[in-house]
Chain A
Amino acid sequence: MFLISLFERREKLKTYFSLTINECIKIGYDSLFIVSIVSIFMGAVTTIQTAFNLVGPLIPDYVISLVVRDMTLLELSPTIIAIVFAGKVGSNIAGELGTMRITEQIDALEVMGINSSSYLVLPKIIAALLMFPILVVISATLAIFGGYTAGVMTDVITGQEYIYGLRYEFNPFNIPFALIKSYVFAFIVASISSFQGYYTSGGALEVGKSSTNAVTNSCIAILVADYILAQILL
């Protein structure tokens, strides 16, 4: 019902365009720093831990980067970054909408004859769908780069072996799979967080609860969707 209401009594396209651009900056550009830091260290740690656990006389070194590549594309970048995304963007969306609700700003929009859910939520969902896949692509690139840097700096693997491992038996479907996951997770985070924020009632305490619920519910939904997508698509 909430999602259907987003498409009723819509405003001019120009309005949505400028709102969506603003949301893209808030959701995408402003998340770049945290996503970059998490991704670089995610790749670095995966490299070091894989080297520690797997490498022996019978296993070639390039397996390390092969594992980093597949883990990054299949799981770490879409899923872990989605959880980071839920923590940063999801709580922000729920907090913003919750505050607007309790300070009657949403009522003010409704009184003006504006469909508040469409005006406030639709640009957030569109922006999340546009920006999160880009963040995932950036994350995957940085994670692989982080793994390379950590591997080479600690002499776990040479640069040539790392690149050989990245190319070895590469399954191109992993990229569309990661992107499909990123679209699904972006929709989950934006819609659940918006729902939680939009239907906040009470005061400051309830806004905090809505933010917490937005993150918790988004994380659970991401993990369930992750399992379902892996089952269906792989």
Chain B
Amino acid sequence: MIEIKNITKSFDDKKVLHGISGKFEKGKTNLIIGASGTGKSVLLKCLVGLLSPDIGKVLFDGRYFTESDKNTTTQIRREIGMLFQGSALFDSKNVEENIKFPLDILTEISEKEKIEKVNHCLNLVGLDKINQKMPSELSGGMKKRVGIARAIVNDSKYLFCDEPNSGLDPLTAIKIDDLILELTQKLNTTTIVVTHDMNSVIEIGEYIMFLHNGKKLWEGDNKNILKTKIKELNSFIFSNKLMKKIK
């Protein structure tokens, strides 16, 4: 479980996050949603340690992340897998080398075991026989899948996904959502997904935190989000015609 307590972050004079607290449970897909510029990505960066919150604490299964010594921080980081918005695959490495990379750096296992793990992860994300392809030869959806495979290859306890559906067609987006949900349940990870895609919210939102202007306005799940009376959340959910019709 990941717990955040009173996370506050400012850039110069602009306060981006206002004392956000919450609990993201293990084995669940936890979503952080909100319109663009509401602080979702900043909160995610605070969670994974790419930014330090001005005030507040982040706990990974009871271990303080932001206030620990460097060894503990490094240990926690090595338990984190992250899918970036643009996949962030290393251009100079092929698919196999990209996925194998965390194993090369962080483990002492044999080359044979590494390749077995890579193939297992590629199989889990539904990709086969693309080991030697370069990232430039892959489609957007395939890059995301390879990104997910790299994120889980080191038996990550915590999986973070930043806008996993951005730039994907609706069909591929649904496949990626299903994959995230499936992997979370199968590997029992604590998964946090930052998104503004309503389809993801409905499909995989087992816990949802809604941010508006850097504040947490609502939390719940995909079963009760459509019944909310909060004006800001309603205007976010029902911003397109299809959702208005469903309503």
Residues on A close to B: CB < 8 A? 8-9, 11-12, 15, 99, 103-105, 107-108, 110-114, 119
Contact = CB atoms under 8 A, between A and B. Distances in A.
A108 B88 contact: yes
B74 A108 contact: no
A111 B105 CA distance: 13
A63 B48 CA distance: 66
B84 interface: yes
A112 B105 contact: yes
Interface stretch (B23-31, B53-61, B75-83): B75-83
A162 to B, nearest CB: 45
Contact of B104 (A9, A15, A110, A111): A15
Interface of B: 48-50, 70, 73-78, 80, 82, 84-86, 88-91, 101-102, 104-106, 154, 160
4 tightest Cβ-Cβ pairs between the two chains A and B:
A113-B77, A104-B88, A113-B78, A108-B88
A96 to B, nearest CB: 9
A8 B78 CA distance: 16
A110 B73 CA distance: 11
B74 A111 contact: no
16 contacts: A8-B70, A9-B70, A12-B105, A15-B104, A15-B105, A103-B88, A105-B88, A105-B90, A108-B90, A110-B50, A111-B49, A111-B50, A112-B105, A112-B154, A113-B80, A119-B105
B77 A104 contact: no
B50 A112 contact: no
A25 to B, nearest CB: 13
Contact of A108 (B75, B82, B104): B82
Nearest to A22: B92
A59 to B, nearest CB: 55
Contacts of A110: 49-50, 77
Nearest to A105: B88
Given A103-B91, A112-B101, A112-B154, 10 more contacts: A9-B70, A11-B105, A12-B105, A15-B105, A105-B88, A105-B89, A107-B50, A110-B50, A112-B77, A113-B77
Given A15-B105, A103-B86, A113 B74 contact: yes
B165 to A, nearest CB: 16
A80 to B, nearest CB: 30
Contact of B78 (A99, A104, A107, A112): A112
A105 B48 CA distance: 15
